[in-house]
Amino acid sequence: MSAIDNTLKTFPKVWNQQFPESVLQPIQFEAAKRYRKYQLPTTLDEWEKVRPELYRKAAEAMRLKVDHSLPLEYEEHGTIQLDGVTIKKVSFCATPGRYMTANLYIPDGEGPFPAILHLHGHMSQGKISPKMQMRAQIFAKCGYVGLVVDAFGAGERTSKHPVPEYHGLYRGASVMNIGESLMGIQVADNMRAIDVLQSLPFVDKEKIGATGGSGGGNQTIYIAAMDDRVKAAVPVCSPATFEAYLHSTNCFCEVMPGGLNFTEEAGILALTAPRALKLCSNINDVITSFSVEEMLRTAYEARKVYDAYGAGHKFQHEGFPGNHGYWPEVVESAVGFFDLHLKGIGNGAAHPVPDCASLPESDLLVWEEGKAPAKLKGLKAWSNDRAAALAEKRKQNSDAAEVKQNLKKLLIDAKEIQIKSADKLPDADGWMRYSIDAGDVMIPVLFRKGQTDRCRILAADLDKTNLFNSNIYQAAKDCPDSVLIFDPYGSGEMYDFKFSLSDKGDYHNLVRYCIWYGHSMLGIWAQEYNLLAQWAKETFGVSKFSYEGLRDAGAAAIFAAVLFGNADKVTAEKTVFSMNLVESTFCAEAATLALTVQDILLYADIANAIGLSNTEVKFIKPMHGDNTALTVDEQAAFQEECDKETVRFGMKTQLTIEG
């Protein structure tokens, strides 16, 4: 057995240079290939064959669910009278358990008026922000009814009414684990907002438009594509390419799961044809994915379909001076465009608009601060409700083979990897070093040969150096077993701060990149445990394996044991006890977004997986997402739940909880 120098305070590096390019370059190169692959038809006959399937795939990818037959439960909660404009504070039902808050801007006069659905970007105060107020007032004074809605997780639709919060990060990712997507929720909500507009007697039901900037521009793109009641749309500082999203930072609401497996953004834009569409971008936009260049790249493709319809005059794009934003000159251009395509007046050119002043934000709240009804739930409460319902539903299925097959589809089939070669590097500090090539996945490995036929495979999220003071490493370093330590995909010697949104490390961007292709970091990590076990068996003759992981790597170790059956022992240390990313207020100190796996809670949570593993499982200090450890009573309840899962699936799992 090679000796480990106990005076060392860290592990040696495998590579002589950090290697994030091994992760980023394959992702970005594949996106570039797909941009060139997904060219649109140039004839109407060809497009009409393609369009229904493209629409179906987009709706399926974003998990779009909407029922227009449900009662809207539309209510008005107050009125503000301004010069030329009446503002109503309204609420309505998007779907059972999900209610929306909005402000309705009504021009003076008899109507019926054309209407605009105004969609806000990543401004946490939502509909009441000064920019949204003034834009809606301007359009109303120009003769348009305006409905300004709060996006889910913003405005009044937050965890604590009406305290602002960001609907991305763990809240935005949480809906993916429960089988939804934030993009699909927004589209469904906005469809119901159009139902409201069409229900109003002073609205011309055939003349409805949509517009928004940044994240609101993305919402505009998708509502126009998926709902043909939108007759004209102006997305601002948002039209781009999917390829560009894999070079930058965007919100989870701007991610279509698996979207890059069947289309580029031009295909989504083309779904709006032949209805009127104007793309707007700003020359000095600091968000590179929303640059004028990316707008032109996507517009070039989308125009093919408009031309095939003979509707090229209804498709426009324009660049404006300035940085990221929906600036006054853009408003003037949008009003001119809507005048032509919704009112039939003018030639579509920009024209001056009236000045407006914003009101105090609190004046426009549907409910007074802290007085919203219990039915108005934010992302956290709504996701927790659905996670609880899924937990009950999972109890009805005791077919272990079926559950494993579903997990295999999510975690392996979406992106299967295989080792192609393993290169031995010079030993360092008592460790053998290997660089393992699994195609577009590289794995840096440290190995110490032991005296038994068991190999303990250890990993941590973010960086293997975090293992150094862990219980699992301290137990492994002095035992006679072989020890293998690896950096999971995107971690350690592959990690780059660009992968995360926070300086603590959360994998926000890298997780998004994976989701665009329909796979997950956790699925790759689980496969790496298995591949390294096979490699160690072939290379060093070991035959028994312990999969051990710190934090999120512990979850990967558990699912690896379920899916591959090569481990007879699994240890998870400081791992969260649930894949429900809003079980508590999740934070990067406890877990990363690598736990985001689209649809996984439809089939299994951590307790279900432990029951399925049929192994000896040790859980050291299981955690809540807010970085607090489970209490003794909570540990006992978790133990009981896992034991029930073991019995239900007919397995022989032996779980112990420590700490």
- Do residues 371 and 497 share a domain? no
Q: Which of 557, 326, 304, 535 is nearest to 432 (CA)?
A: 535
User: Chain-wide mean pLDDT for the chain?
Assistant: 96
State how far the Cα of 81 lies from the Cα of 213, in Å rounded to an integer: 26
Sign of CA dihedral 615, 620, 622, 627: negative
State how far the Cα of 337 lies from the Cα of 341, in Å rounded to an integer: 6
Q: Note whether residue 38 is domain-resident.
A: no
- Is the pLDDT confidence value at 39 over 80? yes
C-alpha distances in Å from residue 553, one per residue of 14, 135, 146, 457: 19, 47, 48, 11
State how far the Cα of 448 lies from the Cα of 482, in Å rounded to an integer: 6
- Do residues 429 and 557 share a domain? yes
pLDDT of residue 3: 52
- Do residues 373 and 515 share a domain? no
- Do residues 112 and 213 share a domain? yes
pLDDT of residue 59: 98
Burial of 141 (0-12, 13-18, 19+ CB in 10 A): buried
Tokens of 428: 């360092």
Three-state SS at 278: strand
Q: How far is residue 311 CA from its own chain's centroid?
A: 34
Q: Note whether residue 383 is domain-resident.
A: yes
The CATH number of whichever domain residue 549 belongs to comes to 3.40.50.1820
DSSP 286-355: SSGGG-HHHHHHHHHHHHHHHHHHT-GGGEEEEEESSSSS--HHHHHHHHHHHIIIII--S-S-------
Q: Note whether residue 410 is domain-resident.
A: no
Q: Note whether residue 393 is domain-resident.
A: no
Tokens of 262: 């069947």
Question: Where does the pLDDT of residue 137 fall: very low under 50, low under 70, confident under 90, or very high at 90 and above?
Answer: very high
Q: Residues of the chain with pLDDT > 70: what percent? A: 99
Q: Note whether residue 3 is domain-resident.
A: no
Q: Note whether residue 22 is domain-resident.
A: no
Question: Where does the pLDDT of residue 299 fall: very low under 50, low under 70, confident under 90, or very high at 90 and above?
Answer: very high
- Is the pLDDT confidence value at 1 over 50? no
pLDDT of residue 5: 58
Query: Helices 521-540 and 552-564, interaxial angle, to 10°?
Result: 60
pLDDT of residue 10: 84
- Do residues 222 and 282 share a domain? yes
Using one digit for the tens of pLDDT, what is the confidence trace for 141-175? 999 999 999 999 999 999 999 998 889 889 999 99
DSSP 575-604: -BS-S-TTSS---TTT--GGG--TTGGGT-
- Do residues 502 and 381 share a domain? no
What's the per-residue H, E or C state across 398-427? CCHHHHHHHHHHHHHHCCCCCCCEEEEEEE
- Do residues 478 and 549 share a domain? yes
**Residue spans of beta strands (DSSP E) within 131-250:** 145-149, 203-213, 230-236
Domain boundary at 341, 361, 387, which?
387
Three-state SS at 373: coil
Question: Where does the pLDDT of residue 7 fall: very low under 50, low under 70, confident under 90, or very high at 90 and above?
Answer: low
Residue with the two structure tokens 């989308």: 302
Tell me the mean pLDDT in the region 320-338: 96
- Do residues 377 and 438 share a domain? no
**Residue spans of beta strands (DSSP E) within 440-594:** 442-448, 454-460, 482-486, 544-550, 569-573
Domain boundary at 363, 387, 411, which?
387
Using one digit for the tens of pLDDT, what is the confidence trace for 371-417? 999 999 999 999 999 999 999 999 999 999 999 999 999 999 999 99
Tell me the mean pLDDT in the region 245-253: 94
- Do residues 202 and 87 share a domain? yes
Using one digit for the tens of pLDDT, what is the confidence trace for 195-226? 999 999 999 999 999 999 999 999 999 999 99
- Do residues 504 and 372 share a domain? no
Contact 530, 192 (CB under 8 A): no
- Number of domains the chain is built from: 2
Question: Where does the pLDDT of residue 4 fall: very low under 50, low under 70, confident under 90, or very high at 90 and above?
Answer: low
- Do residues 508 and 576 share a domain? yes
Q: Note whether residue 19 is domain-resident.
A: no
Question: Which residues face 316 on adjacent strands?
Answer: 278
- Do residues 353 and 478 share a domain? no
State how far the Cα of 68 lies from the Cα of 95, in Å rounded to an integer: 9
Tell me the mean pLDDT in the region 473-494: 97
Q: Which domain holds residue 465?
A: 422-658
Q: What is the DSSP letter of 4?
A: P
Q: Note whether residue 231 is domain-resident.
A: yes
Question: Which residues face 436 on adjacent strands?
Answer: 422, 443
